[in-house]
Chain A
Amino acid sequence: MSVIASEPPGYFAQGMGIKAWLLSTDHKRIAWLYLVSLTAFFLLGGAAATLIRLELATPAGDLVSDDIYNRLFTMHGIVMVWFFLIPSIPATLGNFLLPLMLGAKDLAFPRLNLASWYVFISGSLFTLYAVVAGGVDTGWTFYTPFSSLYSNSHVAAAAVGVFIVGFSTIMTGINFIVTTHRMRAPGQTWFRLPIFVWTIYTTSLVMVLATPVLAATLLTIILDRVFGIGLFDPDKGGDPLLFQHLFWFYSHPAVYIMILPGMGVVSEIIPCFARRPLFGYRFVAYATIAIGVLGFLVWGHHMFVSGQSAFAGIVFSFLTFMIAVPSAIKVFNWTFTLRKGSVAFDAPMLYALFFLALFTFGGLAGLFLGQLAVDVHLTDTYFVVAHFHYIMVGGMVMAFMAGMHFWWPKMTGRMYPEMWGRVAAVTAFIGFNLTFFPQYVLGFLGMPRRYHAYPDEFGPWHLLSSAGAVVLALGYLMPLGYLTWSLFYGRRAPADPWHATGLEWKTSSPPPQHNFEQRPEVTGPPYDYPLPAPSRVEGVEP
């Protein structure tokens, strides 16, 4: 194992001690702090999911009690949404890459960035306390009056935890917005930005504008449980529907916080492995903004059977179909990027193509749910569960994996084992479909959500889903193993292993602490891929 002498030492050279990691304001190190904590939360949420699928393998509620089951799916939801999906790509890849893609040496507010991680951790401690002390049984949606008056679990502690994590999200969002505005490289106009930056920027706007509404909503629950101020208590004249409006005003945009960065990652990877500029770059950029804006206007589609007026239902249904349009535009653009290209199928590309497939099928299921008459039957059933897992897990986690493999050489200076990468991608794809496709069928058959025990007729599909979950788990555990292995034993990565465009590849792998020896300049559009491509992407032999 020889270190290549001509390469600068990279940011790891600043020290590997605890203090060097926990007190550094280097965005690259903070990205790692997030990555490690998010992985831990992903495993925690995954453990809850495992128990849920085990329980649901048979119709009788026999493995755990109903109270435990309710706490499991609540923990799964809270942990996966707020402690994994929302920070996932922005806080790890976004943190690491945004300054690099802008040719900057760090984010605009490095100390704020570090602070956001500590806020994140302290929020997570509250939530973990709630879990250890006996759990929460409200579902991640915290619907009143159940959460405010009837639940006997640790709702306030969990709500405080999520409330605090919200601050961390807002801090990250502010940091990214200001960085994108003020720290772009010379010559890097808005329409020379990579789509990843566009999506991170839009995501940050949504974070900053939607999260405070969640904070206010959670605050009202805390006020209710701790101080007895019943803002949504029907006995005091409050309206539980108003809570739902406020909650979904945040939580629907939150869906786009979760998926937009994934779209950004895929928009980087597909052009690189097809050796073609992204098809319709401007359309994709505008579609990103359109999704961000329209995302604020469709919250009511979670409430078609809640008792809101039919008029409201129709307006929200209309807006919901409108938001399908920019998503469809993106899918077509990614597909046509492949045309006339020179397509290679390395692991990042496989993950990206699987993202494309799963996102499309999740999105198409969204049409069913947006259509009012069909939604009346499907809402609150497993159809919804399958739909958002296709988007969040099939879409977002696939994109996260794609990005992790694509930028792994940049982050670590090591190559991951390519064959393992491909095997894991295919395994996860198969496992995912086995797990969640049956849930579409279950939903159509009428299986309600959040059921601990269910009638026998749903049995076979649940069993298939549980079996698929085993394969899926394997697909997720493999990368954990080989990526960790490659940290120590992987081949050394060159500065630009994929021959990709983008400023992040113009510096060494891993980058030096100040990212660039010289501030890079941008002189042309992004994705300026040349044709023909090198026949084989080379790595540096050990």
Chain B
Amino acid sequence: MNGIALHPIEASTVAPEVDLMFYSLLAFSLGLGLVLTILVLRFAIVYRRGSRADRSDPHKRDPLLEMGWTIGAAVVALGLFVWGANGYIERDHPPEGSIVVAGFGKQWMWRFQHDNGRREINELHVPKDRPVVVRLAAEDVIHSFYVPAFRVKQDAVPGHTTQIWFEASRTGTYDLFCAEYCGTQHSRMRGRIIVMEPEDFAAWLAAGPATQSIAEEGEALFRSLGCSGCHGPNSAIRAPDLHNVYGHPVALQDGTVRIADQQYIRDSILQPERDVAAGYEPVMPSFADLVSEDELMKLVTYVKSLATEHSP
């Protein structure tokens, strides 16, 4: 890593694609810049004051030229837009079978928790060649999860759950930055992403202190907070059964339908009266003051696991 860097390391599957776009844009920009520079210099030299250049054709308008570059610019702009939008849509659709990690940003550190409960601070171990989804929450202000080598970035916003996914393509250690200004030690809110061979990762994960998985912790909370009293299979109060809810459409009281995604589960815990499922009484109290971001993430993960464990 000596010398002056000109190009960031490519260590994820999307990185080459992003770089291809970047360099294409660069070539286009330099090309256009060059053409303009040559034109300006040529005009400036040929038509410098006092030169003997031919200056006939005075005051003639050239609507063709105007229309030409207007349409040309529009077509180029449209092309660039379509190309970039394609890559962006993929961001929202992590591949099936991704590893899921919970990530929390707080002033001024990153905390991560793996599926089996293993926790890390300012470090995140991930396997190579497996898609990884990091579900992001912020406990105080806005932070942003940024790994330049992967060309990915996503803000963690208080009050929202966001997610980011990547598939590392090279083993090694890469910078993790907080990219959204978050206060005094913003520039110290840095960490490392450690990409390992899948088997090394499995060993590393298993070597962690034996704790409950996130979903198991969520289940425990589900009982201790009393959720199971109503949402359980044998409860007296009618509340929707949460098996197979996650990821499926839910009919709401006002006649609309919403897909039960992370944000929906989250909102239903914090503001239960907002989107009540059709056919149920709005009797659930808000848990806004009772659960932390951390616990919310666990509950959401648990509800999510209820959908997967019974599906084929």
Question: Are any A and B Cβ atoms less than 8 Å apart in their complex?
Answer: yes
A residues sitting closer than 8 Å to B (CB atoms) are 61, 66-67, 70, 137, 139, 143, 145-146, 149-151, 234-235, 237-241, 274-275, 277, 279-280, 283, 304-307, 310, 313-314, 317-318, 321-322, 324-325, 328-329, 331-333, 335-336, 338-345, 353, 356-357, 360-361, 364-365, 367-368, 370-377, 379-381, 441, 444-446, 448-455, 457-458, 460-461, 531-533, 535
Query: Does B203 make an interface contact (CB < 8 A)?
Result: no
Separation of A532 and B141 alpha carbons in the complex (Å): 64
Given contacts A70-B184, A321-B78, A453-B188, 5 further A-B contacts (CB under 8 A): A353-B40, A367-B28, A367-B29, A377-B22, A377-B148
Supply 28 A–B pairs (Cβ within 8 Å), ascending by A: A145-B140, A237-B159, A238-B159, A305-B153, A305-B155, A314-B85, A314-B88, A314-B89, A321-B78, A324-B77, A338-B40, A342-B50, A343-B43, A343-B48, A345-B48, A353-B44, A364-B33, A367-B29, A370-B80, A370-B84, A373-B17, A377-B151, A380-B153, A446-B149, A454-B187, A455-B190, A460-B4, A532-B55
* CB-nearest residue of chain B to A238: B159
Query: Does B39 make an interface contact (CB < 8 A)?
Result: yes
Known interface pairs A305-B154, A310-B89, A460-B4; A380-B180 also in contact (CB < 8 Å) = yes
Q: Which residues of A contact B247 (CB under 8 A)?
A: none
Separation of A160 and B235 alpha carbons in the complex (Å): 55
Q: Which residues of A contact B78 (CB under 8 A)?
A: 321
* Per-residue A-contact encoding for B196-217, CB less than 8 Å = 1, 0 else: 0000000000000000000000
Separation of A452 and B92 alpha carbons in the complex (Å): 32
Query: Does B260 make an interface contact (CB < 8 A)?
Result: no
Query: Does B253 make an interface contact (CB < 8 A)?
Result: no
Give the interface centre of A237, A305, A314, A333 by most chain B CB atoms within 10 Å. A305
Name the interface residues of B21-39: CB closer than 8 Å to any CB of A. 21-22, 25, 28-29, 32-33, 36-37, 39
Separation of A240 and B157 alpha carbons in the complex (Å): 7
Q: Which residues of B contact A151 (CB under 8 A)?
A: 183
Tell whether, in the assembled complex, residue B18 and residue A446 are in contact, meaning their CB atoms are under 8 Å apart: no
Q: Which residues of B contact A61 (CB under 8 A)?
A: 187
* Top-9 shortest CB links A-B: A446-B148, A373-B87, A371-B84, A234-B159, A372-B88, A338-B43, A321-B77, A451-B187, A364-B29
Query: Does B182 make an interface contact (CB < 8 A)?
Result: yes
Instruction: State how many angstroms separate the Cβ of A226 from the closest Cβ of chain B.
Output: 20
Instruction: State how many angstroms separate the Cβ of B171 from the closest Cβ of chain A.
Output: 19
Tell whether, in the assembled complex, residue B158 and residue A234 are in contact, meaning their CB atoms are under 8 Å apart: yes
**Interface SS majority for chain A:** helix
Query: Does B240 make an interface contact (CB < 8 A)?
Result: no
Separation of A329 and B66 alpha carbons in the complex (Å): 8
Tell whether, in the assembled complex, residue A307 and residue B185 are in contact, meaning their CB atoms are under 8 Å apart: no
Q: Which residues of A contact B86 (CB under 8 A)?
A: 373
* Per-residue A-contact encoding for B112-146, CB less than 8 Å = 1, 0 else: 00000000000000000000000000001110101
Chain B interface residue number, banded: 35 or more
Tell whether, in the assembled complex, residue A376 and residue B141 are in contact, meaning their CB atoms are under 8 Å apart: no
Tell whether, in the assembled complex, residue A457 and residue B50 are in contact, meaning their CB atoms are under 8 Å apart: no
Instruction: State how many angstroms separate the Cβ of B105 from the closest Cβ of chain A.
Output: 12
Query: Does B186 make an interface contact (CB < 8 A)?
Result: yes
Query: Does B97 make an interface contact (CB < 8 A)?
Result: no
Partner of A137, one of B4, B178, B184: B184
Query: Does B226 make an interface contact (CB < 8 A)?
Result: no
Known interface pairs A364-B33, A381-B179; A374-B25 also in contact (CB < 8 Å) = yes
Separation of A449 and B181 alpha carbons in the complex (Å): 8
Give the interface centre of B33, B49, B158 by most chain A CB atoms within 10 Å. B49
* CB-nearest residue of chain A to B69: A332
Query: Does B259 make an interface contact (CB < 8 A)?
Result: no
Tell whether, in the assembled complex, residue A444 and residue B47 are in contact, meaning their CB atoms are under 8 Å apart: no
Instruction: State how many angstroms separate the Cβ of B68 from the closest Cβ of chain A.
Output: 9
Tell whether, in the assembled complex, residue B21 and residue A531 are in contact, meaning their CB atoms are under 8 Å apart: no
Q: Which residues of B contact A372 (CB under 8 A)?
A: 84-85, 87-88
Tell whether, in the assembled complex, residue B43 and residue A341 are in contact, meaning their CB atoms are under 8 Å apart: yes
Known interface pairs A321-B78, A324-B73, A353-B40; A139-B181 also in contact (CB < 8 Å) = yes
Tell whether, in the assembled complex, residue A343 and residue B183 are in contact, meaning their CB atoms are under 8 Å apart: no
Partner of A379, one of B77, B153, B159, B177: B153
Tell whether, in the assembled complex, residue A280 and residue B89 are in contact, meaning their CB atoms are under 8 Å apart: no
Instruction: State how many angstroms separate the Cβ of B287 from the closest Cβ of chain A.
Output: 13
Query: Does B236 make an interface contact (CB < 8 A)?
Result: no
Instruction: State how many angstroms separate the Cβ of A349 from the closest Cβ of chain B.
Output: 9
Partner of B8, one of A149, A376, A446: A446
Known interface pairs A317-B81, A371-B83, A451-B186; A342-B36 also in contact (CB < 8 Å) = no
Tell whether, in the assembled complex, residue A340 and residue B187 are in contact, meaning their CB atoms are under 8 Å apart: no
Tell whether, in the assembled complex, residue A150 and residue B107 are in contact, meaning their CB atoms are under 8 Å apart: yes
Instruction: State how many angstroms separate the Cβ of A303 from the closest Cβ of chain B.
Output: 8
Instruction: State how many angstroms separate the Cβ of A208 from the closest Cβ of chain B.
Output: 29
Query: Does B91 make an interface contact (CB < 8 A)?
Result: yes
Separation of A151 and B183 alpha carbons in the complex (Å): 7
Instruction: State how many angstroms separate the Cβ of B66 from the closest Cβ of chain A.
Output: 5
Q: Which residues of B contact A283 (CB under 8 A)?
A: 66, 70
Q: Which residues of B contact A137 (CB under 8 A)?
A: 183-184
Tell whether, in the assembled complex, residue B73 and residue A146 are in contact, meaning their CB atoms are under 8 Å apart: no
Instruction: State how many angstroms separate the Cβ of A498 from the closest Cβ of chain B.
Output: 12
Separation of A201 and B160 alpha carbons in the complex (Å): 41
Q: Which residues of A contact B22 (CB under 8 A)?
A: 368, 374, 377, 444
* CB-nearest residue of chain B to A324: B77
Tell whether, in the assembled complex, residue A344 and residue B49 are in contact, meaning their CB atoms are under 8 Å apart: yes
Q: Which residues of A contact B49 (CB under 8 A)?
A: 275, 342-344, 533, 535
* CB-nearest residue of chain A to B14: A373
Tell whether, in the assembled complex, residue B153 and residue A317 are in contact, meaning their CB atoms are under 8 Å apart: no
Tell whether, in the assembled complex, residue B142 and residue A143 are in contact, meaning their CB atoms are under 8 Å apart: yes
Tell whether, in the assembled complex, residue A237 and residue B77 are in contact, meaning their CB atoms are under 8 Å apart: no
Tell whether, in the assembled complex, residue B179 and residue A145 are in contact, meaning their CB atoms are under 8 Å apart: no
Q: Which residues of A contact B66 (CB under 8 A)?
A: 280, 283, 329, 333
Tell whether, in the assembled complex, residue B21 and residue A374 are in contact, meaning their CB atoms are under 8 Å apart: yes
Query: Does B306 make an interface contact (CB < 8 A)?
Result: no
Q: Which residues of A contact B83 (CB under 8 A)?
A: 371
Q: Which residues of A contact B44 (CB under 8 A)?
A: 338, 343, 345, 353
Partner of B59, one of A145, A277, A356, A376: A277
* CB-nearest residue of chain A to B67: A283
Tell whether, in the assembled complex, residue A329 and residue B181 are in contact, meaning their CB atoms are under 8 Å apart: no
Q: Which residues of B contact A340 (CB under 8 A)?
A: 47, 53, 55-58
Query: Does B241 make an interface contact (CB < 8 A)?
Result: no
* CB-nearest residue of chain B to A356: B40
Q: Which residues of A contact B228 (CB under 8 A)?
A: none
Tell whether, in the assembled complex, residue A461 and residue B37 are in contact, meaning their CB atoms are under 8 Å apart: no
Q: Which residues of A contact B291 (CB under 8 A)?
A: none
Query: Does B175 make an interface contact (CB < 8 A)?
Result: yes
Query: Does B271 make an interface contact (CB < 8 A)?
Result: yes
Query: Does B162 make an interface contact (CB < 8 A)?
Result: yes
Tell whether, in the assembled complex, residue A341 and residue B47 are in contact, meaning their CB atoms are under 8 Å apart: yes
Separation of A413 and B270 alpha carbons in the complex (Å): 69
Query: Does B100 make an interface contact (CB < 8 A)?
Result: no
Query: Does B6 make an interface contact (CB < 8 A)?
Result: yes
* CB-nearest residue of chain A to B70: A329
Tell whether, in the assembled complex, residue A335 and residue B36 are in contact, meaning their CB atoms are under 8 Å apart: yes
Query: Does B61 make an interface contact (CB < 8 A)?
Result: yes
